[in-house]
Structure 1
Amino acid sequence: MKRPALAAAAALFAVGALLTGCGSTHGSGSDSGGTSAGASKAPQEAQQKYRQQLEEATAEHDRAFPTVAQTCAGKPTAVPTSPASPAASGPQPENPKYGENHAYLKTTTLSPLEECRGDAHAARVAAELARQTPADPEQAKALLTRLGYPDAKVAQAGQGVQFSFFVPQVGPCLSGTLSNPPRIEVHGPYIEGGCEPSRGGH
Protein backbone atom coordinates (compact mmCIF):
# COMPACT_ATOMS: atom_id res chain seq x y z
CA MET A 1 0.00 0.00 0.00
CA LYS A 2 1.29 3.46 -0.80
CA ARG A 3 2.40 5.60 2.05
CA PRO A 4 -0.52 7.95 2.94
CA ALA A 5 -0.12 11.43 1.46
CA LEU A 6 -0.31 13.10 4.84
CA ALA A 7 2.44 10.96 6.36
CA ALA A 8 5.12 13.15 4.81
CA ALA A 9 3.41 16.25 6.10
CA ALA A 10 3.19 14.80 9.57
CA ALA A 11 6.89 14.02 9.46
CA LEU A 12 7.60 17.58 8.42
CA PHE A 13 5.50 18.84 11.31
CA ALA A 14 7.52 16.67 13.70
CA VAL A 15 10.75 18.10 12.35
CA GLY A 16 9.40 21.57 12.97
CA ALA A 17 8.61 20.67 16.56
CA LEU A 18 12.13 19.35 16.99
CA LEU A 19 13.56 22.58 15.70
CA THR A 20 11.56 24.46 18.30
CA GLY A 21 13.25 22.48 21.05
CA CYS A 22 16.66 23.10 19.55
CA GLY A 23 16.06 26.83 19.37
CA SER A 24 15.23 26.98 23.07
CA THR A 25 18.46 25.35 24.21
CA HIS A 26 21.18 26.91 22.06
CA GLY A 27 22.94 30.23 22.02
CA SER A 28 23.24 33.29 24.17
CA GLY A 29 24.45 36.81 23.67
CA SER A 30 24.25 38.83 20.46
CA ASP A 31 23.42 35.87 18.17
CA SER A 32 20.69 34.37 20.35
CA GLY A 33 17.98 36.71 19.11
CA GLY A 34 18.49 35.75 15.48
CA THR A 35 18.73 32.06 16.31
CA SER A 36 15.52 32.13 18.34
CA ALA A 37 13.69 34.01 15.61
CA GLY A 38 14.79 31.49 13.00
CA ALA A 39 13.92 28.54 15.20
CA SER A 40 10.47 29.91 16.03
CA LYS A 41 9.76 30.60 12.38
CA ALA A 42 10.58 27.05 11.27
CA PRO A 43 7.74 25.27 13.13
CA GLN A 44 5.27 27.94 12.01
CA GLU A 45 6.20 27.29 8.39
CA ALA A 46 5.96 23.53 8.97
CA GLN A 47 2.49 23.92 10.51
CA GLN A 48 1.36 26.12 7.64
CA LYS A 49 2.63 23.62 5.08
CA TYR A 50 0.95 20.75 6.96
CA ARG A 51 -2.38 22.60 7.03
CA GLN A 52 -2.08 23.35 3.31
CA GLN A 53 -1.34 19.71 2.48
CA LEU A 54 -4.22 18.59 4.67
CA GLU A 55 -6.61 20.95 2.89
CA GLU A 56 -5.41 19.75 -0.52
CA ALA A 57 -5.70 16.09 0.48
CA THR A 58 -9.20 16.63 1.89
CA ALA A 59 -10.30 18.43 -1.26
CA GLU A 60 -8.99 15.59 -3.41
CA HIS A 61 -10.80 13.02 -1.26
CA ASP A 62 -14.04 15.01 -1.37
CA ARG A 63 -13.90 15.27 -5.17
CA ALA A 64 -13.43 11.51 -5.45
CA PHE A 65 -16.10 10.64 -2.85
CA PRO A 66 -18.69 13.46 -2.87
CA THR A 67 -21.35 11.42 -1.06
CA VAL A 68 -18.99 10.71 1.83
CA ALA A 69 -17.98 14.38 1.95
CA GLN A 70 -21.62 15.48 2.08
CA THR A 71 -22.49 12.93 4.77
CA CYS A 72 -19.67 14.05 7.06
CA ALA A 73 -19.74 17.80 6.43
CA GLY A 74 -19.49 19.77 9.66
CA LYS A 75 -18.09 16.95 11.80
CA PRO A 76 -15.36 18.05 14.26
CA THR A 77 -11.82 17.39 13.09
CA ALA A 78 -10.19 17.41 16.52
CA VAL A 79 -9.49 14.16 18.32
CA PRO A 80 -11.47 14.08 21.60
CA THR A 81 -9.37 14.15 24.74
CA SER A 82 -10.04 11.65 27.49
CA PRO A 83 -9.52 12.38 31.19
CA ALA A 84 -6.42 10.92 32.76
CA SER A 85 -7.11 7.43 34.04
CA PRO A 86 -6.63 6.86 37.78
CA ALA A 87 -3.52 5.07 38.93
CA ALA A 88 -3.79 1.33 38.60
CA SER A 89 -4.58 -0.50 41.81
CA GLY A 90 -4.97 -4.11 42.83
CA PRO A 91 -3.16 -7.08 41.29
CA GLN A 92 -0.79 -6.33 38.43
CA PRO A 93 -0.35 -8.49 35.31
CA GLU A 94 2.08 -11.37 35.67
CA ASN A 95 4.23 -9.66 33.07
CA PRO A 96 4.42 -5.94 33.93
CA LYS A 97 5.71 -5.21 30.42
CA TYR A 98 2.64 -6.75 28.75
CA GLY A 99 1.31 -3.37 27.65
CA GLU A 100 4.67 -2.27 26.32
CA ASN A 101 5.19 -5.53 24.47
CA HIS A 102 1.77 -5.27 22.84
CA ALA A 103 1.93 -1.57 21.96
CA TYR A 104 2.24 -2.60 18.30
CA LEU A 105 -1.45 -3.62 18.44
CA LYS A 106 -2.60 -0.10 19.37
CA THR A 107 -4.15 2.22 16.82
CA THR A 108 -4.36 6.00 16.70
CA THR A 109 -7.51 7.70 17.99
CA LEU A 110 -10.03 8.89 15.41
CA SER A 111 -11.69 12.28 15.34
CA PRO A 112 -15.49 12.48 14.84
CA LEU A 113 -14.86 13.40 11.20
CA GLU A 114 -12.62 10.39 10.68
CA GLU A 115 -15.13 8.08 12.35
CA CYS A 116 -17.94 9.41 10.16
CA ARG A 117 -15.79 9.17 7.05
CA GLY A 118 -14.78 5.60 7.89
CA ASP A 119 -18.39 4.54 8.53
CA ALA A 120 -19.48 6.10 5.24
CA HIS A 121 -16.78 4.28 3.30
CA ALA A 122 -17.66 1.03 5.09
CA ALA A 123 -21.28 1.52 4.01
CA ARG A 124 -20.14 1.93 0.38
CA VAL A 125 -18.25 -1.35 0.53
CA ALA A 126 -21.09 -3.18 2.29
CA ALA A 127 -23.61 -1.95 -0.29
CA GLU A 128 -21.46 -3.32 -3.12
CA LEU A 129 -21.02 -6.63 -1.29
CA ALA A 130 -24.80 -6.95 -1.06
CA ARG A 131 -24.80 -7.18 -4.85
CA GLN A 132 -21.65 -9.23 -5.31
CA THR A 133 -19.53 -11.17 -2.83
CA PRO A 134 -16.00 -11.80 -4.17
CA ALA A 135 -15.08 -15.45 -4.43
CA ASP A 136 -11.32 -14.92 -4.26
CA PRO A 137 -8.68 -12.22 -3.72
CA GLU A 138 -8.61 -11.34 -7.43
CA GLN A 139 -12.32 -10.53 -7.45
CA ALA A 140 -11.97 -8.69 -4.15
CA LYS A 141 -9.12 -6.56 -5.50
CA ALA A 142 -11.14 -5.73 -8.61
CA LEU A 143 -14.19 -4.80 -6.52
CA LEU A 144 -12.25 -2.51 -4.17
CA THR A 145 -10.36 -0.89 -7.04
CA ARG A 146 -13.65 -0.16 -8.79
CA LEU A 147 -14.91 1.51 -5.61
CA GLY A 148 -11.86 3.77 -5.47
CA TYR A 149 -9.48 1.83 -3.20
CA PRO A 150 -6.74 0.59 -5.58
CA ASP A 151 -4.15 0.21 -2.81
CA ALA A 152 -6.23 -2.25 -0.79
CA LYS A 153 -4.45 -5.37 0.42
CA VAL A 154 -6.37 -8.64 0.08
CA ALA A 155 -5.75 -12.27 1.07
CA GLN A 156 -7.80 -15.44 1.20
CA ALA A 157 -9.20 -16.23 4.66
CA GLY A 158 -11.46 -19.24 5.08
CA GLN A 159 -14.83 -18.56 3.48
CA GLY A 160 -14.03 -14.91 2.78
CA VAL A 161 -11.29 -12.54 1.74
CA GLN A 162 -9.41 -10.46 4.28
CA PHE A 163 -8.75 -6.87 3.29
CA SER A 164 -7.31 -3.63 4.58
CA PHE A 165 -6.84 -0.17 3.11
CA PHE A 166 -6.24 3.45 4.05
CA VAL A 167 -9.02 5.72 2.73
CA PRO A 168 -7.28 7.61 -0.10
CA GLN A 169 -5.55 10.83 0.95
CA VAL A 170 -7.08 11.29 4.41
CA GLY A 171 -7.83 7.98 6.16
CA PRO A 172 -8.92 6.28 8.32
CA CYS A 173 -8.21 2.55 7.88
CA LEU A 174 -10.83 -0.04 7.00
CA SER A 175 -10.14 -3.74 7.46
CA GLY A 176 -12.00 -6.99 7.90
CA THR A 177 -13.48 -9.77 5.78
CA LEU A 178 -15.36 -9.49 2.51
CA SER A 179 -17.92 -12.21 3.01
CA ASN A 180 -21.68 -12.57 3.33
CA PRO A 181 -22.32 -10.88 5.68
CA PRO A 182 -19.16 -8.77 5.63
CA ARG A 183 -17.14 -7.78 8.68
CA ILE A 184 -15.73 -4.27 8.34
CA GLU A 185 -13.82 -2.43 11.07
CA VAL A 186 -13.03 1.29 11.01
CA HIS A 187 -9.87 2.25 12.89
CA GLY A 188 -6.88 4.54 12.92
CA PRO A 189 -3.48 3.46 11.60
CA TYR A 190 -1.42 1.31 13.93
CA ILE A 191 1.06 3.13 16.15
CA GLU A 192 3.94 1.61 14.20
CA GLY A 193 2.35 2.61 10.89
CA GLY A 194 0.01 1.13 8.34
CA CYS A 195 -3.45 -0.40 8.52
CA GLU A 196 -2.21 -3.85 9.54
CA PRO A 197 -0.44 -4.73 12.81
CA SER A 198 3.24 -5.49 12.54
CA ARG A 199 4.23 -9.10 12.99
CA GLY A 200 5.18 -9.62 16.62
CA GLY A 201 5.79 -7.30 19.53
CA HIS A 202 8.89 -5.80 21.08
Structure 2
Amino acid sequence: MIRRPAHGPAIAVLLAGSLALAACGTTKAGAGAGASGSATPDYVRQAQASAEAGKQAHDRKFPDIAARCKDAAAAPSASGSPGASSAAEPLDPEAAKYAENHAYKTQARLSPEAGCRGGAHAARITKGLVGTGKTAPTTEDGLRKALEALGYPATEDEVFTSGGALGFAFSVPGAGPCVTGYLGTPPKVEAHGQYMEGGCMEPRGGH
Protein backbone atom coordinates (compact mmCIF):
# COMPACT_ATOMS: atom_id res chain seq x y z
CA MET A 1 0.00 0.00 0.00
CA ILE A 2 1.33 3.38 -0.95
CA ARG A 3 1.27 6.01 1.83
CA ARG A 4 0.50 9.62 0.93
CA PRO A 5 2.83 12.24 2.39
CA ALA A 6 1.44 13.39 5.75
CA HIS A 7 2.69 16.97 5.25
CA GLY A 8 0.52 17.69 2.17
CA PRO A 9 -2.44 19.26 4.09
CA ALA A 10 -0.05 21.30 6.20
CA ILE A 11 1.58 22.82 3.11
CA ALA A 12 -1.85 23.65 1.70
CA VAL A 13 -2.82 25.43 4.92
CA LEU A 14 0.41 27.40 4.96
CA LEU A 15 -0.02 28.46 1.33
CA ALA A 16 -3.60 29.53 1.93
CA GLY A 17 -2.54 31.53 4.98
CA SER A 18 0.28 33.21 3.05
CA LEU A 19 -2.07 34.22 0.23
CA ALA A 20 -4.60 35.59 2.71
CA LEU A 21 -1.95 37.67 4.45
CA ALA A 22 -0.63 38.95 1.15
CA ALA A 23 -4.12 39.93 0.00
CA CYS A 24 -4.81 41.59 3.33
CA GLY A 25 -1.61 43.60 3.11
CA THR A 26 -2.36 44.66 -0.44
CA THR A 27 -5.86 45.82 0.51
CA LYS A 28 -4.64 47.86 3.46
CA ALA A 29 -1.84 49.46 1.47
CA GLY A 30 -4.21 50.35 -1.35
CA ALA A 31 -6.74 51.84 1.08
CA GLY A 32 -4.04 53.87 2.76
CA ALA A 33 -2.76 55.26 -0.51
CA GLY A 34 -6.28 56.19 -1.58
CA ALA A 35 -6.98 57.94 1.70
CA SER A 36 -3.80 59.98 1.62
CA GLY A 37 -4.32 60.87 -2.04
CA SER A 38 -7.81 62.27 -1.42
CA ALA A 39 -6.92 64.22 1.71
CA THR A 40 -7.35 68.00 1.46
CA PRO A 41 -3.96 69.81 1.72
CA ASP A 42 -3.42 71.81 4.90
CA TYR A 43 -3.05 75.12 3.08
CA VAL A 44 -6.43 74.61 1.37
CA ARG A 45 -8.15 73.82 4.66
CA GLN A 46 -6.51 76.84 6.28
CA ALA A 47 -7.66 79.10 3.44
CA GLN A 48 -11.19 77.73 3.68
CA ALA A 49 -11.22 78.21 7.45
CA SER A 50 -9.91 81.77 7.11
CA ALA A 51 -12.56 82.61 4.49
CA GLU A 52 -15.32 81.16 6.66
CA ALA A 53 -14.08 83.08 9.72
CA GLY A 54 -14.03 86.29 7.68
CA LYS A 55 -17.55 85.67 6.44
CA GLN A 56 -18.82 85.05 9.96
CA ALA A 57 -17.17 88.26 11.20
CA HIS A 58 -18.80 90.16 8.33
CA ASP A 59 -22.22 88.69 9.12
CA ARG A 60 -21.94 89.69 12.78
CA LYS A 61 -21.00 93.24 11.78
CA PHE A 62 -23.61 93.59 9.04
CA PRO A 63 -26.50 91.27 10.05
CA ASP A 64 -29.00 93.03 7.77
CA ILE A 65 -26.89 92.36 4.69
CA ALA A 66 -26.19 88.78 5.80
CA ALA A 67 -29.93 88.16 6.18
CA ARG A 68 -30.70 89.73 2.80
CA CYS A 69 -28.15 87.60 0.94
CA LYS A 70 -28.30 84.30 2.84
CA ASP A 71 -30.12 82.55 -0.02
CA ALA A 72 -28.11 84.13 -2.84
CA ALA A 73 -25.49 81.35 -2.82
CA ALA A 74 -28.11 78.90 -4.10
CA ALA A 75 -29.07 81.14 -7.03
CA PRO A 76 -27.85 80.20 -10.53
CA SER A 77 -24.65 81.90 -11.63
CA ALA A 78 -25.01 85.01 -13.75
CA SER A 79 -23.64 84.97 -17.26
CA GLY A 80 -21.12 87.61 -16.22
CA SER A 81 -20.65 90.88 -14.40
CA PRO A 82 -20.01 94.27 -15.97
CA GLY A 83 -16.43 94.43 -17.14
CA ALA A 84 -15.96 90.66 -17.16
CA SER A 85 -14.23 89.21 -20.17
CA SER A 86 -16.28 87.39 -22.77
CA ALA A 87 -15.33 84.08 -24.37
CA ALA A 88 -16.22 85.44 -27.82
CA GLU A 89 -13.54 87.47 -29.55
CA PRO A 90 -14.56 90.62 -31.46
CA LEU A 91 -14.66 90.02 -35.20
CA ASP A 92 -13.47 93.51 -36.07
CA PRO A 93 -9.62 93.57 -35.98
CA GLU A 94 -9.66 97.09 -34.50
CA ALA A 95 -12.14 96.01 -31.83
CA ALA A 96 -9.99 92.96 -31.08
CA LYS A 97 -6.91 95.14 -30.70
CA TYR A 98 -8.79 97.53 -28.43
CA ALA A 99 -9.98 94.62 -26.26
CA GLU A 100 -6.42 93.29 -26.03
CA ASN A 101 -5.02 96.69 -25.04
CA HIS A 102 -7.65 97.11 -22.32
CA ALA A 103 -7.57 93.55 -20.95
CA TYR A 104 -5.84 94.87 -17.82
CA LYS A 105 -9.17 96.51 -16.88
CA THR A 106 -10.93 93.15 -16.81
CA GLN A 107 -12.73 92.44 -13.53
CA ALA A 108 -13.29 89.05 -11.94
CA ARG A 109 -16.84 87.79 -12.07
CA LEU A 110 -18.81 87.86 -8.84
CA SER A 111 -20.67 84.85 -7.52
CA PRO A 112 -24.40 85.40 -6.85
CA GLU A 113 -23.70 85.70 -3.12
CA ALA A 114 -20.80 88.14 -3.57
CA GLY A 115 -22.85 90.15 -6.04
CA CYS A 116 -25.73 90.40 -3.58
CA ARG A 117 -23.49 91.45 -0.72
CA GLY A 118 -21.59 93.93 -2.87
CA GLY A 119 -24.78 95.54 -4.17
CA ALA A 120 -26.20 95.78 -0.66
CA HIS A 121 -23.02 97.46 0.61
CA ALA A 122 -23.02 99.89 -2.33
CA ALA A 123 -26.61 100.90 -1.52
CA ARG A 124 -25.81 101.21 2.20
CA ILE A 125 -22.76 103.41 1.54
CA THR A 126 -24.69 105.62 -0.89
CA LYS A 127 -27.42 106.18 1.68
CA GLY A 128 -24.89 106.82 4.44
CA LEU A 129 -22.88 109.38 2.45
CA VAL A 130 -25.42 111.25 0.33
CA GLY A 131 -28.83 110.05 1.53
CA THR A 132 -31.68 112.29 2.55
CA GLY A 133 -30.57 114.76 5.20
CA LYS A 134 -26.89 113.90 4.71
CA THR A 135 -24.16 116.39 3.86
CA ALA A 136 -21.69 114.77 1.50
CA PRO A 137 -18.01 114.93 2.54
CA THR A 138 -15.95 117.57 0.75
CA THR A 139 -12.41 116.43 1.63
CA GLU A 140 -10.54 113.14 1.45
CA ASP A 141 -10.10 113.11 5.22
CA GLY A 142 -13.80 113.80 5.71
CA LEU A 143 -14.72 110.99 3.31
CA ARG A 144 -12.38 108.57 5.05
CA LYS A 145 -13.91 109.38 8.44
CA ALA A 146 -17.44 109.04 7.03
CA LEU A 147 -16.62 105.59 5.66
CA GLU A 148 -15.09 104.54 8.96
CA ALA A 149 -18.25 105.68 10.77
CA LEU A 150 -20.25 103.38 8.47
CA GLY A 151 -17.97 100.45 9.34
CA TYR A 152 -15.57 100.58 6.39
CA PRO A 153 -12.01 101.37 7.49
CA ALA A 154 -10.39 102.95 4.43
CA THR A 155 -6.69 103.66 4.12
CA GLU A 156 -5.25 106.81 2.58
CA ASP A 157 -4.64 104.98 -0.70
CA GLU A 158 -8.27 103.84 -0.88
CA VAL A 159 -9.67 107.40 -0.77
CA PHE A 160 -8.71 109.81 -3.54
CA THR A 161 -9.70 112.71 -5.75
CA SER A 162 -10.19 112.05 -9.46
CA GLY A 163 -11.44 114.55 -12.03
CA GLY A 164 -12.37 116.96 -9.28
CA ALA A 165 -14.61 114.41 -7.50
CA LEU A 166 -13.92 112.54 -4.29
CA GLY A 167 -13.71 108.81 -4.72
CA PHE A 168 -12.93 105.56 -2.94
CA ALA A 169 -12.25 101.93 -3.80
CA PHE A 170 -11.83 99.09 -1.31
CA SER A 171 -12.72 95.47 -0.64
CA VAL A 172 -15.44 94.88 1.94
CA PRO A 173 -13.76 92.96 4.81
CA GLY A 174 -14.96 89.37 4.98
CA ALA A 175 -17.40 89.72 2.07
CA GLY A 176 -14.84 89.94 -0.72
CA PRO A 177 -16.30 92.19 -3.42
CA CYS A 178 -14.89 95.59 -4.24
CA VAL A 179 -16.96 98.73 -3.78
CA THR A 180 -15.98 101.81 -5.78
CA GLY A 181 -17.65 105.20 -5.54
CA TYR A 182 -17.42 108.79 -6.79
CA LEU A 183 -19.18 111.66 -5.06
CA GLY A 184 -19.87 113.54 -8.26
CA THR A 185 -23.14 114.87 -9.62
CA PRO A 186 -24.84 112.49 -9.43
CA PRO A 187 -22.90 110.26 -7.00
CA LYS A 188 -22.13 106.73 -8.16
CA VAL A 189 -21.31 103.72 -5.97
CA GLU A 190 -21.07 100.20 -7.39
CA ALA A 191 -19.75 96.74 -6.51
CA HIS A 192 -17.44 94.70 -8.74
CA GLY A 193 -14.83 91.97 -8.72
CA GLN A 194 -11.11 92.59 -8.36
CA TYR A 195 -9.15 93.65 -11.42
CA MET A 196 -7.07 91.16 -13.37
CA GLU A 197 -3.88 92.74 -12.00
CA GLY A 198 -5.23 92.56 -8.44
CA GLY A 199 -6.89 95.01 -6.09
CA CYS A 200 -9.97 97.19 -6.36
CA MET A 201 -8.38 100.31 -7.84
CA GLU A 202 -8.70 100.56 -11.62
CA PRO A 203 -5.18 100.01 -12.97
CA ARG A 204 -3.58 102.69 -15.10
CA GLY A 205 -1.69 102.08 -18.29
CA GLY A 206 -1.85 99.32 -20.84
CA HIS A 207 -0.09 98.78 -24.11
- 8 Å CA contact 1:163–1:175 kept in 2: the answer is yes
- Give ranges in structure 2 of 5+ residues lacking alignment: 1-30, 81-85
Mapped pair 1:178 → 2:183:
yes
Mapped pair 1:146 → 2:149:
yes
Q: What is the aligned residue count?
A: 168
When normalised by structure 1's length, the TM-score is: 0.69
The one-letter amino acid paired with 2:58 is H
- 8 Å CA contact 2:117–2:175 kept in 1: the answer is no
Look up the SS of the partner of 1:94 in the other structure: helix
Query: For the residues of structure 2 that align with 1:169 and 1:183, how far apart are their CA atoms?
Result: 23
CA RMSD of aligned residues (A): 3.1
1:64 corresponds, among 61, 67, 80, to 61
- Give ranges in structure 1 of 5+ residues lacking alignment: 1-32
Deviation at 1:127, TM superposition (A): 1.2
Residue of structure 2 in register with 1:166 after alignment: 171
Deviation at 1:58, TM superposition (A): 0.2
Query: For the residues of structure 2 that align with 1:81 and 1:173, how far apart are their CA atoms?
Result: 17
Superposition map of 1:53-202 within 5 A? 53-76=50-73, 80=77, 82=79, 91-94=91-94, 96-128=96-128, 129-130=130-131, 131-151=134-154, 153-158=158-163, 160-179=165-184, 181-202=186-207
Query: For the residues of structure 2 that align with 1:39 and 1:179, how far apart are their CA atoms?
Result: 55
**CA gap 1:40/1:86 in 2 versus in 1, 3 angstroms:** closer
Rg larger in structure = 2
Query: For the residues of structure 2 that align with 1:79 and 1:49, how far apart are their CA atoms?
Result: 27
Deviation at 1:111, TM superposition (A): 1.0
Query: For the residues of structure 2 that align with 1:104 and 1:88, how far apart are their CA atoms?
Result: 16
Deviation at 1:71, TM superposition (A): 1.4
